[in-house]
Amino acid sequence: MQVESFQYDNKTVRNFAIATIIWGVVGMTVGLWVALQLVFPTTLNLQPFFSFGRLRPLHTNAVIFAFVGNGIFMGVYYSLQRLLKARMYSDLLSKIHFWGWQLIIVAAAITLPLGITSSKEYAELEWPIDIAITIIWVVFGWNMFATILKRRERHLYVAIWFYIATFVTVAVLHLVNSFELPVTLFKSYSWYAGVQDALVQWWYGHNAVAFFLTTPYLGLMYYFMPKAANRPVFSYKLSIIHFWALIFLYIWAGPHHLLYTALPNWAQSLGVVFSFMLIFPSWGGMINGLLTLRGAWDRVREDVILKFMVVAVTAYGMSTFEGPMLSLKNINAVAHFTDWIIAHVHVGGLGWNGMLTFGILYWLIPKMYKTELYSKKLANMHFWLATLGILFYAIPMYWAAWQQASMWKQFTPTGQLKYQFLETVTYMRPFYAMRSLGGVLYLSGAILAMVNIFKTIGKGTLVANEDAEAPALEATFEKHKGEHWHRWIERKPTPMLVMSLIVILIGGAVEMIPTFLVKSNVPTISSVKPYTPLELQGRDIYVREGCYTCHSQMVRPFRSETERYGEYSKAGEFVYDHPFQWGSKRTGPDLAREGTGNNKKSNTWHFNHLDEPSAISTGSVMPAYSFLIDHELDTATTPAKIRAMQTLGVPYAAGYDQLANKELMQQAKKIAANLKQDGIEVGANKEIIAVIAYLQRLGTDINKK
């Protein structure tokens, strides 16, 4: 057997590592900023670009796709080469992958503050960026599978299985959820409407957690934890069972984000059952990780890298216990829309993803630079800042969220709701301040890490191409002369399978989605009508400003909600909503019935409230939207928007796109005239008029005779 010499590519790993740490600090800083916006709403909401609704998606996208995303690629590029005993297939592809991904991040950082958003959570980026993501993801997959093909180690270590599942599933999720109809270069409408859009979104949303934040990181855990501890994983058998069980269960859990909504009940139950089952493989993985340190716990006391990893795996265990619990309908009824969910995701994000990333960075950088970590002391300080940061973040949020939920649900003995919504907001504010302190601690730790890593880089030299030797893979088959062409691919079942799957999915999706989705959006409630052109424009502003980040539009069938908001929401009410705006969090009240019943307010109220919320509702944490009074509504897009809606099956009459702007102005003038009666002078062509029109329309259709 001949030993072959080759070199590992460390440069790409190093690039991804630096990107991880820089974007991590950026993403966490934006996170701290949005946290503080809820404490100091008037000073920190710099309208229009840096208000909460636009920055919160920037925070989530930055930490998920920039921090964790680069962390994934760093770990995959390092471990894959060593596990396969092969250099990455193509340096060029590695380079395109790295720079392409960074460009996407920069594009996100520019477009989101500009209000260019699809409003689908963790998939907010608009269609041109969606296409770029697809291309770069394919580059990543190509590079990875080609490396697997030329490997010198026949057995695929369990980490690689996690990477493969990550690639395949994220590709599928991204394609299905990003199905949208472009209207302009920076605006598109989701192909799905209402309940269907919600289901696709949360099928995506949950699996983004599963296959972007979990499976790749489990792969990293199974490589880097044994390496850092220098002992094999507790049970390799368990890791294999863990992998297969996890990926078979995860894909069905999405509907637990939509419990008690207008989603059909059987789908909700399916989501609950699979979510609950997930606890078993998840905990199998956690236990496997922790037991890897059996007999080496004394080293955890000394070794800061192991400390980070132990906290990471413990946090994984906590959030995967909590996840199935939150998926139970009775617990979800309390916890959904509250800050509990925010605490839950931060235990996972700060704990599992963050701590594992830092542990890997501290292990990887000195190794590639052939030096010692610049300062163990700084790393230890970072560890304690981060761990305390997580506690200071999560505990106030858990505590407050229980109180928040019970205040929402409490009745007086005479059967009245005990608390105004605003009272729950003011109750939360001190807790928002406390969790910001947790954020400060965690962020300072990350900054220490950045200093420590850069100092380490400064004192070492990068081994850009690391020498390695391994015997060539012995052939287990004999090649025949004149064999069929497809024999080649038959010998490579994994890539073949993946490739064919992708081909099938793209073809199938393109063919099926337009036809049957448009047909199925027939109204089931006859009084539900499409939005007027003005309302449609107002709705797009509502989307642009990210109102959904704080306001839900989904009244669940509980007495505490129907008393507060009105009649519970029906699936048939949302058939023209491209995209849906149900939201996932109630920092402010639900708006599904904003235009009707007890919630009905005058145009003047809305005008003054948008102008300065705290002047109308003392203690409100909502940003001011006074710029809507000055901004002129862009009516040039109206005909294109109407035509796009027609394509999606919204029944505007043929040729309506040409009449739309005329009707838009009529309705706008009416609202402006109404405002004038109360002494408010505002042009009918301003954006605020459109927003008011939309808010006044919300939830009214089912009451029409």
Partner 1 sequence: MSVFVLLIIVSVLVAGGFLLAFLWSVKSGQMDDDYTPSIRILFEEEVKTKTKQ
What lies within 8 Å, CB to CB, of 403 at 6+ separation is 427
Binding mask 136-155 for partner 1 (x = CB under 8 A): -------------------x
Binding mask 179-198 for partner 1 (x = CB under 8 A): -------------x--xx--
Q: Which stretch binds partner 1 (CB under 8 A): 121-129, 277-285, 489-497, 526-534?
A: 489-497
Please, which residue, 164 or 183, has the CB nearer to partner 1? 164
2 touches partner 1 (CB under 8 A): no
Q: Which residue has the tokens 């990926």?
A: 247
Residue 163 to residue 141: CA distance in whole angstroms: 10
Question: Pick from 164, 309, 528, 628: which binds partner 1 (CB under 8 A)?
Answer: 164
Q: Look up residue 549 and give its amino acid.
A: T
Q: Which stretch binds partner 1 (CB under 8 A): 167-175, 333-341, 629-637, 667-675?
A: 167-175
Question: Pick from 36, 138, 473, 505: which binds partner 1 (CB under 8 A)?
Answer: 505
300 touches partner 1 (CB under 8 A): no
Tell me how far, at minimum, the Cβ of 240 lies from partner 1, in Å.
6
503 touches partner 1 (CB under 8 A): no
Looking at the DSSP bridge assignments, the partners of residue 470 are 4
Tell me how far, at minimum, the Cβ of 314 lies from partner 1, in Å.
22
Tell me how far, at minimum, the Cβ of 102 lies from partner 1, in Å.
25
Tell me how far, at minimum, the Cβ of 196 lies from partner 1, in Å.
4
Count Cβ atoms below 10 Å from residue 14 Cβ, excluding itself: 21
274 touches partner 1 (CB under 8 A): no
Among 212, 222, 220, CA closest to 349? 212
**Pair 72, 217: CB distance under 8 Å:** yes
Count Cβ atoms below 10 Å from residue 475 Cβ, excluding itself: 8
Please, which residue, 465 or 646, has the CB nearer to partner 1? 465
Q: Which stretch binds partner 1 (CB under 8 A): 100-108, 112-120, 381-389, 514-522?
A: 514-522
What lies within 8 Å, CB to CB, of 428 at 6+ separation is 38, 339, 400, 404
Q: Please, is 698 exposed, middle or buried when counting C-beta atoms within 10 Å of its C-beta (0-12, 13-18, 19+)?
A: buried
486 touches partner 1 (CB under 8 A): no
- 565-584 residues in contact with partner 1 (CB under 8 A) are 571
Residue 141 to residue 167: CA distance in whole angstroms: 6
Q: Which stretch binds partner 1 (CB under 8 A): 44-52, 305-313, 494-502, 549-557?
A: 494-502
Tell me how far, at minimum, the Cβ of 624 lies from partner 1, in Å.
38
Three-class SS state of 447: helix
Tell me how far, at minimum, the Cβ of 441 lies from partner 1, in Å.
35
516 touches partner 1 (CB under 8 A): yes
Binding mask 225-264 for partner 1 (x = CB under 8 A): -xx--xxxx--xx-xx---x--xx--xx-----------x
Tell me how far, at minimum, the Cβ of 487 lies from partner 1, in Å.
16
Residue 491 to residue 473: CA distance in whole angstroms: 14
- 72-101 residues in contact with partner 1 (CB under 8 A) are 82-83
Q: What value, to the nearest 5°, has the Cα angle with vertex 515 and ends 514 and 518?
A: 75
Tell me how far, at minimum, the Cβ of 244 lies from partner 1, in Å.
6
Among 24, 108, 107, CA closest to 72? 24
Please, which residue, 232 or 655, has the CB nearer to partner 1? 232
φ/ψ of 184, rounded to 5, equals -130, -175
457 touches partner 1 (CB under 8 A): no
Tell me how far, at minimum, the Cβ of 331 lies from partner 1, in Å.
25
Please, which residue, 154 or 481, has the CB nearer to partner 1? 154
Q: Which residue has the tokens 């580059």?
A: 139
Residue 299 to residue 645: CA distance in whole angstroms: 62
Count of residues in contact with partner 1, rule CB under 8 A: 60
Kindly state the helix (H) or strand (E) to which residue 188 belongs, with its residue range: strand 187-190
| DSSP state letter for 257 | G
Please, which residue, 248 or 411, has the CB nearer to partner 1? 248
Residue 611 to residue 628: CA distance in whole angstroms: 8
Question: What's the distance, CA 78 to chain centroid?
Answer: 25
Tell me how far, at minimum, the Cβ of 126 lies from partner 1, in Å.
22
| DSSP state letter for 472 | P
What lies within 8 Å, CB to CB, of 233 at 6+ separation is 158, 222, 225, 226, 239, 288, 289, 292
Question: Pick from 181, 388, 468, 616: which binds partner 1 (CB under 8 A)?
Answer: 468
Distances (CA, A) of 414 to 410, 418, 627: 11, 10, 43
Q: Which stretch binds partner 1 (CB under 8 A): 16-24, 354-362, 495-503, 539-547?
A: 495-503
What lies within 8 Å, CB to CB, of 189 at 6+ separation is 180, 181, 183, 578, 579, 641, 644, 645, 648
Please, which residue, 420 or 500, has the CB nearer to partner 1? 500
506 touches partner 1 (CB under 8 A): no
Kindly state the helix (H) or strand (E) to which residue 119 belongs, with its residue range: none
Tell me how far, at minimum, the Cβ of 203 lies from partner 1, in Å.
6
Please, which residue, 251 or 473, has the CB nearer to partner 1? 251
Please, which residue, 2 or 230, has the CB nearer to partner 1? 230
Please, which residue, 458 or 508, has the CB nearer to partner 1? 508
φ/ψ of 468, rounded to 5, equals -150, 160
Distances (CA, A) of 120 to 266, 435, 543, 619: 24, 26, 10, 29
Tell me how far, at minimum, the Cβ of 147 lies from partner 1, in Å.
16
Q: Look up residue 496 and give its amino acid.
A: M
Q: Which two tokens stand for residue 673?
A: 């005239």
- Helices (H) then strands (E): counts for the chain: 29, 4
Please, which residue, 170 or 660, has the CB nearer to partner 1? 170
Binding site for partner 1 (CB under 8 A): 5, 82-83, 155-158, 161, 164-165, 168-169, 172, 176, 192, 195-196, 199-200, 203, 223, 226-227, 230-233, 236-237, 239-240, 244, 247-248, 251-252, 264, 267, 463-465, 467-469, 493-494, 497-498, 501, 504-505, 508-509, 512-513, 516-517, 519-520, 571
